[in-house]
Amino acid sequence: MSAKPSERSKEHQAQAPTDDGGRYAQVTGVAVGLLLAAGATPALAWEPTKRVEIVVAAGAGGASDQMARMMQAAIQKNGLMKAPIVVSLKGGASGAEALMYMKSSDGDANKVLIGLFPDLHAAALGENSLQLARPHTRGRRGDGSVRPVGQCGRSKVGQGLHRRCEGCRVSFKMGGTGSKREDMCSRYSWKKKTGAKFSYLPYKSGGEAATQLVGTTRIQRQ
Amino acid sequence: MFDKERISYTTKVSETQSWNDIPTCKEEGLDVQYLMLRAMFCPEKSARSKQAFYVDLFQKIAQTPEYKEYMEKQALKPVFLKGRRCSNSLKRMMR
């Protein structure tokens, strides 16, 4: 709800992401007017006629943001949709800002939320006072705040740290954007399996984490 | 690699190795798995026909070269789920 006034300022009208060189700059200039080939979709199928907003439940430059922009570019370059498409960042309160925004947009099919599932789940659980139930996958229809329409990919993370922490007296510094969420889960499972210790540096987005952590990774012997 | 299996990408990303050369945690003696899923959601109470448009749209996006390049560059597991399979996957993660 509080998200509304700042909405406009946070939108990115087909801009190239600042942290990703000019890779998307070339494609964002392509006209959106490539019409769908006749017969590509059934004649009566609904499609949006006004601007579609991809709502990112994470910070600028993070993985969700990058993926949203990639999809924006893919849609425009391949003429997959006639309506214009924008990306808006609503990463406040660990993604709860985006959930509230979607919750206040019931029935508005011109908005699509993108986010990592554990993050959104954690954000929803952390906002119980706002009556944001868990996403619509358990329980009755209609008791959740959002509804899954599709899913793109499962991420893998390869840090190579595990090899060194076997049986270990080693302390690691871990930095990331998933404080109290996925980073805590993964940290806990490593700790349980190996006894390794971690200290944690929380960052606001993957972009920030990458910038801050590049060149600083090291193993600290106790 | 925090998955049961190695990732499929075999293009070299360093001088000697591809993502496929990175062993799983289990292969290295640490039996942990951790998968995350990035999902797209429509607002509650969206009409089914409108949801269907987005399922179709994201399916088309997943076929584009931009998408495939992104998945490979980010070393993301190229799995696309929709409908019941997607919901079931979410349910498993909430346990």
CB B53 within 8 Å of CB A112: no
Tens-place pLDDT, residues A192-217: 777 777 788 888 776 777 777 765 54
Q: Please indicate, yes or no, whether residues B1 and B30 belong to a single structural domain of this protein.
A: yes
Give the A:B interface size as CB pairs under 8 Å: 230
> What residues of chain A lie within 8 A of the CB of B29, using their CB?
166
Predicted confidence band of residue B87 (pLDDT cuts 50, 70, 90): confident
Q: What is the pLDDT of residue B57?
A: 94
Task: Give A 117-136 residues with CB within 8 A of chain B.
Answer: 117-118, 120-121, 134-136
Asked if B43 lies within 8 A of A107 by C-beta distance, the reply is yes
Q: In chain B, how many domains are there?
A: 2
Give ipTM to 2 decimals. 0.87
At A69, is the secondary structure helix, strand, or coil? helix
Best mutation target, B1, B36, B95, to test chain A (most A CBs within 10 A): B36
Asked if B37 lies within 8 A of A117 by C-beta distance, the reply is yes
Asked if A107 lies within 8 A of B45 by C-beta distance, the reply is yes
- B19 lies in which domain range? 1-34
Helix or strand run (H / E) with residue A98: helix A96-103
CB A181 within 8 Å of CB A119: yes
CB A190 within 8 Å of CB B30: yes
Q: What is the pLDDT of residue A201?
A: 82
Q: What is the pLDDT of residue A24?
A: 37
Q: Please indicate, yes or no, whether residues B24 and B43 belong to a single structural domain of this protein.
A: no
Q: Please indicate, yes or no, whether residues B67 and B82 belong to a single structural domain of this protein.
A: yes
Q: What is the pLDDT of residue B30?
A: 79
Q: What is the pLDDT of residue A80?
A: 94
Would the CA dihedral through A52, A26, B55, A33 be positive or negative?
positive
Backbone region of residue A43 per phi and psi (left: phi > 0; alpha: psi in -120 to 50; beta: other values): alpha
Q: Please indicate, yes or no, whether residues B18 and B44 belong to a single structural domain of this protein.
A: no
Q: Please indicate, yes or no, whether residues B30 and B45 belong to a single structural domain of this protein.
A: no
Q: Please indicate, yes or no, whether residues B85 and B53 belong to a single structural domain of this protein.
A: yes
Q: Please indicate, yes or no, whether residues B43 and B67 belong to a single structural domain of this protein.
A: yes
Q: Please indicate, yes or no, whether residues B1 and B27 belong to a single structural domain of this protein.
A: yes
CB A83 within 8 Å of CB B58: no
Q: Please indicate, yes or no, whether residues B55 and B68 belong to a single structural domain of this protein.
A: yes
Helix or strand run (H / E) with residue A152: strand A146-155
Nearest partner of A94 among A215, A191, A184, A204, judged by Cα: A204
pLDDT surpasses 90 at B64: yes
> What residues of chain B lie within 8 A of the CB of A136, using their CB?
44
Enumerate residue ranges in chain A where pLDDT < 50.
1-42, 127-168, 217-222
DSSP state of A37: P
Q: Please indicate, yes or no, whether residues B82 and B66 belong to a single structural domain of this protein.
A: yes
Q: Please indicate, yes or no, whether residues B54 and B78 belong to a single structural domain of this protein.
A: yes
Q: Please indicate, yes or no, whether residues B42 and B88 belong to a single structural domain of this protein.
A: yes
Candidate from A95-109, A207-221, B47-61, B78-92 with smallest mean pLDDT? A207-221
Helix or strand run (H / E) with residue A7: helix A3-10
> What residues of chain A lie within 8 A of the CB of B55, using their CB?
149-150
DSSP state of B51: H
Query: CA angle, corner B61, sides to B60 and B63, nearest 5?
Result: 70
**Residues with Cβ within 8 Å of residue B93, at least 6 apart in sequence:** A117, A118, A121, B37
CB A213 within 8 Å of CB A200: no
Asked if B74 lies within 8 A of A155 by C-beta distance, the reply is yes
Candidate from A56-60, A192-196, B6-10, B53-57 with smallest mean pLDDT? A192-196
| A146 DSSP β-pair partners | B43
User: If you average pLDDT over residues B26-55, what whole number do you get?
Assistant: 86
DSSP state of A59: -
